[in-house]
Chains A and B, each alone.
Chain A
Amino acid sequence: MKIASLKASLALATIFALMPLAPAFAHTGTGTSAGLLSGFMHPITGVDHLVAMVAVGLWGAQLGNPAIWILPIAFPLVMAIGGLFGVSGFDLPFTEIMIAISGIALGLAVAMNIRPPLWVAALLVSVFAVFHGYAHGRELPEAADPLAFGVGFVVATGLLHLCGIVIGVLTRWPAGAQLVRASGAAIGAIGGYFLLSAMGLVA
Protein backbone atom coordinates (compact mmCIF):
# COMPACT_ATOMS: atom_id res chain seq x y z
CA MET A 1 0.00 0.00 0.00
CA LYS A 2 2.76 2.37 1.04
CA ILE A 3 4.83 1.66 -2.08
CA ALA A 4 1.77 2.12 -4.31
CA SER A 5 1.01 5.43 -2.64
CA LEU A 6 4.63 6.53 -2.96
CA LYS A 7 4.66 5.61 -6.65
CA ALA A 8 1.47 7.55 -7.28
CA SER A 9 2.87 10.60 -5.47
CA LEU A 10 6.13 10.41 -7.39
CA ALA A 11 4.31 10.08 -10.70
CA LEU A 12 2.13 13.07 -9.85
CA ALA A 13 5.16 15.09 -8.78
CA THR A 14 6.93 14.20 -12.04
CA ILE A 15 3.96 15.34 -14.09
CA PHE A 16 3.78 18.66 -12.23
CA ALA A 17 7.53 19.13 -12.52
CA LEU A 18 7.44 18.56 -16.25
CA MET A 19 4.64 21.05 -16.84
CA PRO A 20 6.16 23.95 -18.76
CA LEU A 21 5.74 27.36 -17.21
CA ALA A 22 4.94 29.45 -20.23
CA PRO A 23 5.65 33.17 -20.10
CA ALA A 24 2.66 35.47 -20.53
CA PHE A 25 2.98 37.62 -23.62
CA ALA A 26 1.03 40.84 -23.50
CA HIS A 27 1.20 41.39 -27.26
CA THR A 28 0.92 38.23 -29.32
CA GLY A 29 -0.78 39.58 -32.41
CA THR A 30 2.24 40.98 -34.17
CA GLY A 31 4.91 39.97 -36.66
CA THR A 32 5.56 36.52 -38.04
CA SER A 33 3.22 34.60 -35.74
CA ALA A 34 0.28 36.86 -36.51
CA GLY A 35 0.99 36.73 -40.24
CA LEU A 36 1.28 32.95 -40.19
CA LEU A 37 -1.86 32.50 -38.12
CA SER A 38 -4.00 34.90 -40.13
CA GLY A 39 -2.81 33.32 -43.39
CA PHE A 40 -3.45 29.83 -42.07
CA MET A 41 -6.93 30.71 -40.86
CA HIS A 42 -7.95 32.54 -44.05
CA PRO A 43 -8.95 29.45 -46.08
CA ILE A 44 -10.26 27.64 -42.99
CA THR A 45 -12.53 30.35 -41.63
CA GLY A 46 -13.89 31.11 -45.10
CA VAL A 47 -16.36 28.25 -45.56
CA ASP A 48 -16.59 28.91 -49.31
CA HIS A 49 -12.83 28.33 -49.61
CA LEU A 50 -12.88 25.40 -47.21
CA VAL A 51 -15.52 23.32 -48.98
CA ALA A 52 -13.97 23.90 -52.41
CA MET A 53 -10.51 22.84 -51.19
CA VAL A 54 -11.87 19.69 -49.59
CA ALA A 55 -13.80 18.98 -52.80
CA VAL A 56 -10.55 19.13 -54.82
CA GLY A 57 -9.10 16.40 -52.59
CA LEU A 58 -12.30 14.34 -52.72
CA TRP A 59 -12.48 14.55 -56.50
CA GLY A 60 -8.81 13.66 -56.84
CA ALA A 61 -9.34 10.60 -54.65
CA GLN A 62 -12.42 9.62 -56.66
CA LEU A 63 -10.58 9.96 -59.98
CA GLY A 64 -7.61 7.95 -58.66
CA ASN A 65 -4.08 7.96 -59.99
CA PRO A 66 -2.69 10.28 -61.39
CA ALA A 67 -5.38 12.89 -60.62
CA ILE A 68 -5.05 12.23 -56.89
CA TRP A 69 -1.60 13.82 -56.91
CA ILE A 70 -1.71 16.07 -59.98
CA LEU A 71 -4.66 18.15 -58.74
CA PRO A 72 -3.26 18.93 -55.25
CA ILE A 73 0.22 19.67 -56.66
CA ALA A 74 -1.09 21.83 -59.52
CA PHE A 75 -3.61 23.73 -57.41
CA PRO A 76 -1.16 25.72 -55.21
CA LEU A 77 0.98 26.65 -58.22
CA VAL A 78 -1.97 27.97 -60.21
CA MET A 79 -3.41 29.55 -57.07
CA ALA A 80 -0.15 31.47 -56.77
CA ILE A 81 -0.85 33.06 -60.17
CA GLY A 82 -4.22 34.21 -58.84
CA GLY A 83 -2.38 35.44 -55.77
CA LEU A 84 -0.12 37.50 -58.05
CA PHE A 85 -3.19 39.22 -59.49
CA GLY A 86 -4.48 39.90 -56.00
CA VAL A 87 -1.18 41.24 -54.69
CA SER A 88 -0.69 43.48 -57.71
CA GLY A 89 -4.08 45.12 -57.17
CA PHE A 90 -5.46 43.83 -60.49
CA ASP A 91 -9.25 43.94 -60.46
CA LEU A 92 -10.46 40.43 -61.19
CA PRO A 93 -14.24 40.53 -61.65
CA PHE A 94 -16.79 38.10 -60.21
CA THR A 95 -14.36 36.70 -57.63
CA GLU A 96 -16.94 35.85 -54.98
CA ILE A 97 -19.32 34.42 -57.57
CA MET A 98 -16.61 32.24 -59.12
CA ILE A 99 -15.51 30.97 -55.70
CA ALA A 100 -19.12 30.00 -54.97
CA ILE A 101 -19.42 28.37 -58.40
CA SER A 102 -16.25 26.40 -57.67
CA GLY A 103 -17.99 24.87 -54.65
CA ILE A 104 -21.03 24.01 -56.74
CA ALA A 105 -19.08 22.58 -59.69
CA LEU A 106 -16.58 20.57 -57.66
CA GLY A 107 -19.31 19.38 -55.29
CA LEU A 108 -21.44 18.22 -58.21
CA ALA A 109 -18.44 16.54 -59.84
CA VAL A 110 -17.95 14.52 -56.65
CA ALA A 111 -21.67 13.88 -56.10
CA MET A 112 -22.21 12.66 -59.66
CA ASN A 113 -18.85 10.88 -59.79
CA ILE A 114 -18.02 12.71 -63.03
CA ARG A 115 -14.87 11.33 -64.65
CA PRO A 116 -13.66 13.68 -67.38
CA PRO A 117 -10.25 13.36 -69.07
CA LEU A 118 -7.45 14.42 -66.75
CA TRP A 119 -6.71 17.62 -68.66
CA VAL A 120 -10.33 18.74 -68.34
CA ALA A 121 -10.31 18.12 -64.57
CA ALA A 122 -6.96 19.91 -64.21
CA LEU A 123 -8.16 22.85 -66.31
CA LEU A 124 -11.39 23.21 -64.32
CA VAL A 125 -9.57 23.07 -60.99
CA SER A 126 -6.93 25.51 -62.26
CA VAL A 127 -9.51 28.10 -63.31
CA PHE A 128 -11.07 27.98 -59.85
CA ALA A 129 -7.61 28.06 -58.22
CA VAL A 130 -6.96 31.45 -59.82
CA PHE A 131 -10.00 32.96 -58.11
CA HIS A 132 -9.23 31.40 -54.73
CA GLY A 133 -5.63 32.62 -54.98
CA TYR A 134 -6.81 36.08 -55.95
CA ALA A 135 -9.00 36.31 -52.83
CA HIS A 136 -6.07 35.31 -50.60
CA GLY A 137 -3.65 37.58 -52.46
CA ARG A 138 -5.86 40.63 -51.90
CA GLU A 139 -5.33 40.21 -48.13
CA LEU A 140 -1.60 39.66 -48.34
CA PRO A 141 -0.21 43.22 -48.58
CA GLU A 142 -2.11 44.16 -45.41
CA ALA A 143 -0.72 41.21 -43.43
CA ALA A 144 1.59 41.74 -40.46
CA ASP A 145 4.18 39.55 -42.20
CA PRO A 146 3.27 38.94 -45.85
CA LEU A 147 5.64 36.01 -46.33
CA ALA A 148 4.33 34.29 -43.21
CA PHE A 149 0.75 35.00 -44.38
CA GLY A 150 1.57 33.38 -47.74
CA VAL A 151 3.09 30.33 -46.05
CA GLY A 152 0.04 30.08 -43.79
CA PHE A 153 -2.61 30.14 -46.49
CA VAL A 154 -0.71 27.84 -48.87
CA VAL A 155 -0.13 25.27 -46.11
CA ALA A 156 -3.76 25.47 -44.97
CA THR A 157 -4.95 24.99 -48.56
CA GLY A 158 -2.70 21.96 -48.96
CA LEU A 159 -3.90 20.46 -45.69
CA LEU A 160 -7.53 20.94 -46.75
CA HIS A 161 -6.77 19.03 -49.96
CA LEU A 162 -5.20 16.35 -47.80
CA CYS A 163 -8.40 16.20 -45.70
CA GLY A 164 -10.38 15.64 -48.88
CA ILE A 165 -7.98 12.92 -50.06
CA VAL A 166 -8.12 11.14 -46.70
CA ILE A 167 -11.93 11.26 -46.67
CA GLY A 168 -11.81 10.09 -50.29
CA VAL A 169 -10.09 6.87 -49.18
CA LEU A 170 -13.62 5.80 -48.23
CA THR A 171 -14.35 5.32 -51.94
CA ARG A 172 -12.67 1.91 -51.65
CA TRP A 173 -15.82 0.62 -49.99
CA PRO A 174 -19.29 0.84 -51.60
CA ALA A 175 -20.90 2.47 -48.55
CA GLY A 176 -17.94 4.86 -48.26
CA ALA A 177 -18.24 5.80 -51.92
CA GLN A 178 -21.88 6.72 -51.32
CA LEU A 179 -20.85 8.80 -48.31
CA VAL A 180 -18.25 10.64 -50.40
CA ARG A 181 -20.85 11.36 -53.06
CA ALA A 182 -23.22 12.64 -50.37
CA SER A 183 -20.40 14.90 -49.11
CA GLY A 184 -20.05 16.23 -52.65
CA ALA A 185 -23.77 17.02 -52.74
CA ALA A 186 -23.48 18.85 -49.42
CA ILE A 187 -20.52 20.85 -50.75
CA GLY A 188 -22.53 21.75 -53.85
CA ALA A 189 -25.42 22.93 -51.65
CA ILE A 190 -23.06 25.08 -49.57
CA GLY A 191 -21.64 26.51 -52.80
CA GLY A 192 -25.21 27.29 -53.87
CA TYR A 193 -25.81 29.21 -50.67
CA PHE A 194 -22.66 31.28 -51.22
CA LEU A 195 -23.67 31.95 -54.82
CA LEU A 196 -27.01 33.33 -53.68
CA SER A 197 -25.20 35.30 -51.01
CA ALA A 198 -22.70 36.74 -53.52
CA MET A 199 -25.62 37.78 -55.74
CA GLY A 200 -27.26 39.49 -52.76
CA LEU A 201 -30.28 37.18 -52.78
CA VAL A 202 -29.75 35.91 -49.22
CA ALA A 203 -28.28 37.65 -46.21
Chain B
Amino acid sequence: MKKGTLIRAIAAALALVAAPASADAHLINTTLGDFYGGVLHPLSGPEDVVPWFALAVLASIQDSRNARWLLFVFPISLVGGALLSVVAPALSISPAWNLAVIVVTGLAVAAAAKLPFPVFVGLGTLIALLHGYHNGQAMTQDTDRLLFICGVAAVGYVFVTLITALAISFLQGGMEWRLIALRASGSWVAAVGVIMIGLQLRTSAM
Protein backbone atom coordinates (compact mmCIF):
# COMPACT_ATOMS: atom_id res chain seq x y z
CA MET B 1 0.00 0.00 0.00
CA LYS B 2 1.31 3.46 -0.92
CA LYS B 3 2.16 5.87 1.89
CA GLY B 4 -0.44 8.41 0.80
CA THR B 5 -3.15 5.76 0.63
CA LEU B 6 -2.20 4.44 4.06
CA ILE B 7 -2.35 7.91 5.63
CA ARG B 8 -5.69 8.61 3.96
CA ALA B 9 -7.06 5.27 5.18
CA ILE B 10 -5.92 5.96 8.75
CA ALA B 11 -7.31 9.50 8.60
CA ALA B 12 -10.63 8.15 7.37
CA ALA B 13 -10.68 5.54 10.15
CA LEU B 14 -9.91 8.20 12.74
CA ALA B 15 -12.58 10.51 11.37
CA LEU B 16 -15.08 7.65 11.55
CA VAL B 17 -14.12 6.69 15.09
CA ALA B 18 -14.01 10.25 16.34
CA ALA B 19 -17.21 11.33 14.61
CA PRO B 20 -19.28 13.24 17.15
CA ALA B 21 -22.53 11.53 17.98
CA SER B 22 -24.93 12.19 20.78
CA ALA B 23 -25.11 9.52 23.45
CA ASP B 24 -28.71 8.52 23.97
CA ALA B 25 -28.99 7.04 27.40
CA HIS B 26 -32.73 6.84 26.95
CA LEU B 27 -33.54 5.60 23.51
CA ILE B 28 -37.18 6.48 23.94
CA ASN B 29 -36.17 10.00 22.92
CA THR B 30 -35.12 8.69 19.54
CA THR B 31 -38.64 7.19 19.10
CA LEU B 32 -36.95 3.88 18.32
CA GLY B 33 -36.49 2.74 21.91
CA ASP B 34 -39.21 0.13 21.76
CA PHE B 35 -37.85 -1.23 18.50
CA TYR B 36 -34.54 -1.93 20.22
CA GLY B 37 -36.45 -3.26 23.20
CA GLY B 38 -38.06 -5.77 20.86
CA VAL B 39 -34.71 -6.59 19.29
CA LEU B 40 -32.98 -7.16 22.61
CA HIS B 41 -35.74 -8.98 24.47
CA PRO B 42 -35.25 -12.38 22.77
CA LEU B 43 -31.48 -12.02 23.02
CA SER B 44 -31.47 -11.34 26.76
CA GLY B 45 -31.67 -15.03 27.70
CA PRO B 46 -31.25 -18.50 26.24
CA GLU B 47 -35.00 -19.28 26.09
CA ASP B 48 -35.32 -17.95 22.55
CA VAL B 49 -31.76 -18.15 21.30
CA VAL B 50 -31.27 -21.90 21.92
CA PRO B 51 -34.29 -23.16 19.93
CA TRP B 52 -33.76 -20.54 17.20
CA PHE B 53 -30.20 -21.77 16.83
CA ALA B 54 -31.37 -25.39 16.60
CA LEU B 55 -34.10 -24.51 14.10
CA ALA B 56 -31.64 -22.63 11.90
CA VAL B 57 -29.16 -25.53 11.98
CA LEU B 58 -32.02 -27.91 11.17
CA ALA B 59 -32.90 -25.67 8.21
CA SER B 60 -29.34 -25.98 6.91
CA ILE B 61 -29.69 -29.78 6.88
CA GLN B 62 -32.98 -29.69 4.94
CA ASP B 63 -33.29 -29.12 1.21
CA SER B 64 -33.21 -25.53 0.01
CA ARG B 65 -37.01 -25.31 -0.41
CA ASN B 66 -37.58 -25.97 3.30
CA ALA B 67 -34.88 -23.51 4.34
CA ARG B 68 -36.20 -20.72 2.12
CA TRP B 69 -39.75 -21.12 3.38
CA LEU B 70 -38.57 -20.93 6.97
CA LEU B 71 -37.05 -17.49 6.35
CA PHE B 72 -40.47 -16.35 5.11
CA VAL B 73 -42.67 -18.07 7.67
CA PHE B 74 -40.59 -17.50 10.81
CA PRO B 75 -40.77 -13.69 11.14
CA ILE B 76 -44.42 -13.61 10.07
CA SER B 77 -45.28 -16.18 12.73
CA LEU B 78 -43.33 -14.19 15.31
CA VAL B 79 -45.51 -11.20 14.46
CA GLY B 80 -48.58 -13.44 14.65
CA GLY B 81 -47.62 -14.71 18.09
CA ALA B 82 -46.88 -11.22 19.37
CA LEU B 83 -50.19 -9.90 18.04
CA LEU B 84 -51.96 -12.81 19.72
CA SER B 85 -50.43 -11.70 23.02
CA VAL B 86 -52.07 -8.31 22.47
CA VAL B 87 -55.47 -9.73 21.58
CA ALA B 88 -55.46 -12.55 24.14
CA PRO B 89 -52.87 -11.70 26.79
CA ALA B 90 -54.01 -14.29 29.32
CA LEU B 91 -53.75 -17.51 27.31
CA SER B 92 -52.41 -20.24 29.55
CA ILE B 93 -49.69 -21.76 27.43
CA SER B 94 -47.75 -24.35 29.38
CA PRO B 95 -43.96 -23.78 29.47
CA ALA B 96 -43.72 -27.47 28.61
CA TRP B 97 -44.59 -26.55 25.01
CA ASN B 98 -41.52 -24.36 24.70
CA LEU B 99 -39.35 -27.08 26.22
CA ALA B 100 -40.87 -29.81 24.07
CA VAL B 101 -40.04 -27.94 20.86
CA ILE B 102 -36.45 -27.49 22.10
CA VAL B 103 -36.14 -31.27 22.59
CA VAL B 104 -37.81 -32.13 19.26
CA THR B 105 -35.73 -29.64 17.29
CA GLY B 106 -32.50 -30.71 19.01
CA LEU B 107 -33.20 -34.41 18.40
CA ALA B 108 -34.00 -33.70 14.75
CA VAL B 109 -30.63 -31.96 14.37
CA ALA B 110 -28.81 -34.75 16.24
CA ALA B 111 -30.39 -37.29 13.90
CA ALA B 112 -29.74 -35.04 10.86
CA ALA B 113 -33.38 -35.70 10.00
CA LYS B 114 -34.69 -34.54 6.63
CA LEU B 115 -38.21 -33.60 7.58
CA PRO B 116 -41.17 -33.47 5.18
CA PHE B 117 -41.97 -29.91 4.11
CA PRO B 118 -45.21 -29.52 6.13
CA VAL B 119 -43.59 -30.93 9.28
CA PHE B 120 -40.55 -28.65 9.07
CA VAL B 121 -42.50 -25.51 8.27
CA GLY B 122 -45.05 -26.45 10.93
CA LEU B 123 -42.28 -26.80 13.51
CA GLY B 124 -40.82 -23.41 12.56
CA THR B 125 -44.26 -21.81 12.71
CA LEU B 126 -45.01 -23.34 16.12
CA ILE B 127 -41.70 -22.13 17.59
CA ALA B 128 -42.19 -18.63 16.19
CA LEU B 129 -45.80 -18.40 17.41
CA LEU B 130 -44.83 -19.53 20.92
CA HIS B 131 -41.86 -17.18 21.10
CA GLY B 132 -43.74 -14.30 19.54
CA TYR B 133 -46.45 -14.71 22.16
CA HIS B 134 -43.92 -15.01 24.99
CA ASN B 135 -42.00 -11.92 23.87
CA GLY B 136 -45.21 -10.00 23.25
CA GLN B 137 -46.18 -10.53 26.87
CA ALA B 138 -43.22 -8.33 27.84
CA MET B 139 -44.96 -5.28 26.37
CA THR B 140 -46.46 -2.86 28.85
CA GLN B 141 -49.15 -0.22 28.39
CA ASP B 142 -46.46 2.37 27.59
CA THR B 143 -44.75 0.22 24.97
CA ASP B 144 -45.11 1.20 21.33
CA ARG B 145 -46.41 -2.18 20.23
CA LEU B 146 -45.75 -1.72 16.54
CA LEU B 147 -42.08 -0.89 17.11
CA PHE B 148 -41.60 -3.65 19.69
CA ILE B 149 -43.16 -6.33 17.49
CA CYS B 150 -41.16 -5.12 14.49
CA GLY B 151 -38.02 -5.43 16.64
CA VAL B 152 -38.84 -8.99 17.67
CA ALA B 153 -39.61 -10.01 14.07
CA ALA B 154 -36.47 -8.30 12.76
CA VAL B 155 -34.13 -9.97 15.21
CA GLY B 156 -35.80 -13.35 14.66
CA TYR B 157 -35.41 -13.01 10.90
CA VAL B 158 -31.79 -11.82 11.07
CA PHE B 159 -30.77 -14.45 13.65
CA VAL B 160 -32.31 -17.41 11.82
CA THR B 161 -31.09 -16.21 8.42
CA LEU B 162 -27.52 -15.66 9.60
CA ILE B 163 -27.23 -18.95 11.48
CA THR B 164 -28.78 -20.89 8.58
CA ALA B 165 -26.38 -19.23 6.14
CA LEU B 166 -23.39 -19.88 8.38
CA ALA B 167 -24.38 -23.52 8.88
CA ILE B 168 -24.89 -24.06 5.12
CA SER B 169 -21.55 -22.43 4.41
CA PHE B 170 -19.94 -24.58 7.12
CA LEU B 171 -21.40 -27.75 5.57
CA GLN B 172 -20.22 -26.83 2.08
CA GLY B 173 -16.66 -27.74 3.08
CA GLY B 174 -17.83 -31.26 2.31
CA MET B 175 -15.92 -33.00 5.09
CA GLU B 176 -17.87 -35.51 7.13
CA TRP B 177 -16.87 -34.06 10.51
CA ARG B 178 -18.69 -30.81 9.72
CA LEU B 179 -22.09 -32.50 9.73
CA ILE B 180 -21.05 -34.41 12.86
CA ALA B 181 -20.23 -31.12 14.60
CA LEU B 182 -23.68 -29.74 13.77
CA ARG B 183 -25.32 -32.97 14.92
CA ALA B 184 -23.42 -32.78 18.20
CA SER B 185 -24.76 -29.26 18.74
CA GLY B 186 -28.27 -30.69 18.24
CA SER B 187 -27.69 -33.28 20.94
CA TRP B 188 -26.57 -30.48 23.26
CA VAL B 189 -29.81 -28.57 22.59
CA ALA B 190 -31.93 -31.68 23.14
CA ALA B 191 -30.08 -32.43 26.38
CA VAL B 192 -30.77 -28.92 27.69
CA GLY B 193 -34.44 -29.32 26.78
CA VAL B 194 -34.76 -32.69 28.55
CA ILE B 195 -33.21 -31.34 31.74
CA MET B 196 -35.43 -28.27 31.68
CA ILE B 197 -38.51 -30.45 31.30
CA GLY B 198 -37.39 -32.18 34.49
CA LEU B 199 -37.06 -28.85 36.25
CA GLN B 200 -40.49 -27.81 34.97
CA LEU B 201 -42.05 -31.01 36.29
CA ARG B 202 -40.38 -30.45 39.66
CA THR B 203 -41.59 -26.85 39.81
CA SER B 204 -45.12 -27.89 38.89
CA ALA B 205 -45.14 -30.58 41.57
CA MET B 206 -44.01 -28.21 44.32
Interface residues of A (CB under 8 A from B): 3, 6-7, 10-11, 13-14, 17-18, 32, 36, 68-69, 72-77, 79-81, 83-84, 87-89, 133, 137, 140-141, 145-148, 150-151, 154-155, 158, 161
Contact = CB atoms under 8 A, between A and B. Distances in A.
Contacts of A17: 14, 17-18
Given A32-B44, A84-B194, A140-B195, A18 B188 contact: no
B50 A151 contact: yes
- Most chain A beta carbons < 10 A, residue from B13, B44, B180: B180
A7 B195 contact: no
29 contacts: A3-B3, A7-B3, A7-B7, A14-B17, A17-B14, A17-B18, A69-B177, A69-B183, A73-B183, A73-B184, A74-B187, A75-B187, A76-B184, A76-B188, A77-B187, A77-B194, A84-B195, A84-B197, A87-B195, A87-B199, A88-B198, A89-B202, A140-B199, A141-B202, A146-B199, A148-B45, A150-B191, A155-B188, A158-B185
B194 A83 contact: yes
Given A32-B46, A72-B184, 17 more contacts: A7-B3, A14-B17, A75-B187, A76-B188, A77-B110, A77-B190, A77-B191, A80-B195, A87-B202, A88-B201, A137-B195, A140-B195, A146-B199, A147-B50, A147-B192, A148-B46, A158-B185
Contacts of A148: 45-46
A165 to B, nearest CB: 9
Interface in B157-206: 177, 180, 183-185, 187-188, 190-199, 201-202
Given A73-B187, A150-B192, A154-B188, A6 B7 contact: yes
B10 A18 contact: no
B47 interface: yes
A147 B193 CA distance: 9
Contacts of B197: 84
Contact of A10 (B14, B180, B198): B14
